Amino acid sequence: MPTNVKTPVPVSGWTILCDFDGTISVEDVIDSLLDRYGRPGWEALEQDWRAGRIGSRECMSGQVALLDMTREQLDTHLSHLWIDHAFPGFVAKARELGVPIRVVSDGLDYAIHKILGRYGLDDLPLAANHLAPGTPPQRWQLTSPFQAEGCRSGTCKCACVAQARASGTTRTLLIGDGASDFCAADRVDFVFAKHRLIEHCRAAGIPYVPITGFEDALDFLPRLLDGSLLAEATQDAVATP
């Protein structure tokens, strides 16, 4: 077998990087866990992160250390969390059209695998923080295998964009909803934006379309691939004073 085999260029020329919490999932997983199992102190970390005093990696690591739950409690909690009902169909359509999807999340890998596994989607490539049991029992710890130097996030989504381009991808689509997606949105070719990411893209002049969920994304994907959506969004950005 040759050792210099390169990753094939996507058939469509596009790669999709998709956020998980609040984008694929209906609610934020770590927030729901902290509300139920977090010991005192996690709210102060949240306030420090929102004020910009600490990065998301430091915030998440501290918050995860304050979780007090067994694995059974964790698994039961995750079994009641849901994803956008149209996401499986979106994945199927993207695969049919030759568009690879990678889930890029500043959330928890264990939780994402567990939730997507219920839908037969745990084979999607994933970049996320690693959740592992700590000591004593019922304690947890977080590591960030996808962090990058100079980035305060647990998962550097900008590095994920760079990796997609290095693999031969011609263009990259980001699907996201919040602050963890802002930096990457500045570096991709197009954005399907929800919630806070809509305003960021509008203010920064980033080509995007607003979506409420993956039903919208399903409608927009063919138009993205044929070039008409990008052309319209670029024209709209130029026309906006």
Does 225 reside within a domain?
yes
Does 9 reside within a domain?
no
Does 5 reside within a domain?
no
Handedness of CA 221, 223, 225, 228 (dihedral sign): negative
Residue 181: alpha-carbon gap to chain centroid: 7
Does 2 reside within a domain?
no
| H-helix or E-strand spanning residue 47 | helix 42-50
pLDDT 10s per residue in the chain (241 long)? Answer: 333 434 445 566 899 999 999 999 999 999 999 999 999 999 999 999 999 999 999 999 999 999 999 999 999 999 999 999 999 999 999 999 999 999 999 999 999 999 999 999 999 999 999 999 998 889 999 999 999 999 999 999 999 999 999 888 789 999 999 999 999 999 999 999 999 999 999 999 999 999 999 999 999 999 999 999 988 887 765 555 5
As a whole number of angstroms, the distance between CA 17 and CA 126 comes to: 10
Question: In this structure, what CATH number is given to the domain that contains residue 77?
Answer: 3.40.50.1000
As a whole number of angstroms, the distance between CA 165 and CA 161 comes to: 6
Overall domain count for the chain: 1
Does 3 reside within a domain?
no
Does 42 reside within a domain?
yes
* 209 token code pair: 């379309």
In this structure, are strands 126-133 and 140-143 parallel, antiparallel, or unpaired?
A: antiparallel
Does 122 reside within a domain?
yes
Does 4 reside within a domain?
no
Q: Which backbone phi and psi does 209 adopt, to 5 degrees?
A: -130, 145
As a whole number of angstroms, the distance between CA 24 and CA 115 comes to: 10
pTM: 0.92
- Residue 206 belongs to domain spanning: 14-239
